[in-house]
Structure 1
């Protein structure tokens, strides 16, 4: 009984962090969405959001099976990056700086945009439990340039760090952009925040020829045990004088349709920032997290010129070893005849510019 209780506790931490893959029953008696009350649409049924081919939710038994198998490769307590960055105040072209995990600073068209900024020591709702970062942010918070925009892809704790966004709001007063329902979560940390929410297919003009477009992702959302898929998740496309930039939040490859559609609508991107980690075991993670081979396929479907890989090497969320994503990405590029210099697995503080 004690072991079963421990496994259930670990599963709950995973749900609220990744957040796992949730529980199929999802406390179906829950009949009210605490975040969003908009009209029924093709991706919102009045209670939950869903994709075109939304996979069935995993059951609690699947979560417990994963935890019981204990097939993961241990991570080191520290994995320092050889890079650090102190960005310029503004750039005219395109400069991408990796903060760590899924957090970026995009500098383009003289705008400074943070994506999924997480500066917390843990990707978790708990201060003493959950995945702990093994390297510091590649940009120190106090070294950030003036921040104009914050983009949030979804509400999992490794992407939506409420205290960090609140701190950014107090320091920089940026425009905060998020998918439907996430404004309620963000304003729970600071009710003065200015949050603009959009649905898939909608856009916001940021000025200076820069427009951010919200596009679908094969993923889901949850902050706890009873709010599965009650806030929307997304990827983004930025169109600017410096070119097209496709940024995926967390996503599975699926049938590749979301990447084909992005290319059909916007054209081949100059740059694609794609996740390459948090993918093992595949039987559990495939629907919502790409592995490096999937990311290479996605890049080819997009027709991207340059790719940068993230979502690895900072927070241990799944079973693969800390350096496996980078090693597997190299093998996948070689198998597909792609120059590895075109798809770089970024370390915190590393910079790409054009």
Structure 2
């Protein structure tokens, strides 16, 4: 504990809570990220599936409308955890990454295997950006700089990430929040910042110094749940979402980057767990994200989509209710 106290938090300073010990954030009754020795054991196992350098497109790049009005809810997959949500006249991006690599380096690290499902120049005016945590496949400073210059959106993010973004993107409109906070957007829309089971780091010396979160977007057209990046954690947070919010018209849930389970299970759910999560949070429809764009873990590129279908069939859920979205795919989510 003394050594931890000496390592000051570079991103956030605040009072202790049930998920902040005064220096670092943590998952209540949860598991911390693996140790460096475990990381090496995994990396040296030699069990990673080979991915193609590029993958064939299932859908052409989308060209979204400027706005979606009335009770419509349209969702377009850009790639990985980046989706465009259009409803109630608002255009919302989740964890926007347009860079060719999810890495601090331009020449190394996980490389995008197909272009984004929307060309950056074809984005409609972006009002709001949700950044769930600071891992490179979710918080891309180069993309945030582009968004600031072209759209000047409001960015909502968990505690500590505002310091990182604000230093790199001067003048960006930032709103940083703790779990349980509610942010009024206007026109009947609000964003709730909610707990997920994960962690954060940009390097080896800032682990858990910034908070991680999911988001609930409350709109006149129904609630949308974006779980960010999460382990299943015995379904605790999914049950909490159902208790607090009643249910969802739509949920965006991660289904990839889950193998090997001995290392990844606490932080990344698999497709079977995602289906359980959909049921537990009472979502009418769901989209699978966090798969097929960057090779991060051991499973084959197409396994998450295949295992999602198997899990839906096993649990008697119609396949059209939970789709593994591909870049460029557009979903007009039915009303409930």
Measured against the shorter chain, the TM-score band is over 0.9
Residues 252-309 of structure 1 show CA distances to partners (whole Å, capped at 9, x for unaligned) of 1111110111111111111111000000000000000010000011011011111110
Residues 181-214 of structure 1 show CA distances to partners (whole Å, capped at 9, x for unaligned) of 0001101212211110010000111111111100
- 1:352 aligned onto 2:331: yes
- 1:89 aligned onto 2:66: yes
Aligned-residue offset at 1:80: 3.0
1:302 to 277, 281, 284: 281
SS of residue paired to 1:278: coil
Give the distance between the partners of 1:129 and 1:108, measured in 2 at CA.
37
Give the distance between the partners of 1:29 and 1:237, measured in 2 at CA.
33
Report what 1:65 is aligned to.
41
Higher mean Cα deviation, 215-224 or 52-61?
A: 52-61
2:244 to 257, 265, 281: 265
Task: Determine if contact 1:221/1:233 at 8 Å carries over to the other structure.
Answer: yes
Q: TM-score, normalised by structure 2?
A: 0.96
Unpaired stretches in structure 1, ≥5 consecutive residues: 1-24
1:181 to 145, 150, 160: 160
Report what 1:211 is aligned to.
190
Give the distance between the partners of 2:37 and 2:154, measured in 1 at CA.
41
- 1:233 aligned onto 2:209: no
Give the distance between the partners of 1:278 and 1:105, measured in 2 at CA.
21
The RMSD of aligned alpha carbons is 1.2
Task: Determine if contact 2:30/2:233 at 8 Å carries over to the other structure.
Answer: no
Aligned-residue offset at 1:29: 7.0
SS of residue paired to 1:220: coil
Task: Determine if contact 1:85/1:138 at 8 Å carries over to the other structure.
Answer: yes
Q: TM-score, normalised by structure 1?
A: 0.91
1:199 to 170, 178, 197: 178
Task: Determine if contact 2:33/2:266 at 8 Å carries over to the other structure.
Answer: no
SS of residue paired to 1:325: helix
Task: Determine if contact 1:80/1:136 at 8 Å carries over to the other structure.
Answer: no
Aligned-residue offset at 1:28: 4.3
Figure out how many residues of one structure are paired with residues of the other and give that number: 329
Give the distance between the partners of 1:234 and 1:30, measured in 2 at CA.
26
- Deviant stretches of 4+, over 3 Å: 27-30
Give the distance between the partners of 1:94 and 1:230, measured in 2 at CA.
35
* 207 and 274 in structure 1: CA distance in 2 versus 1, 3 angstrom threshold: same
- 1:117 aligned onto 2:96: yes
SS of residue paired to 2:44: helix
Residues 44-67 of structure 1 show CA distances to partners (whole Å, capped at 9, x for unaligned) of 111101121231442221111101
Give the distance between the partners of 2:283 and 2:233, measured in 1 at CA.
18
1:303-342 correspondence to structure 2 within 5 Å: 303-342=282-321
Task: Determine if contact 1:153/1:235 at 8 Å carries over to the other structure.
Answer: yes
Residues 155-180 of structure 1 show CA distances to partners (whole Å, capped at 9, x for unaligned) of 00000000110110111111111000
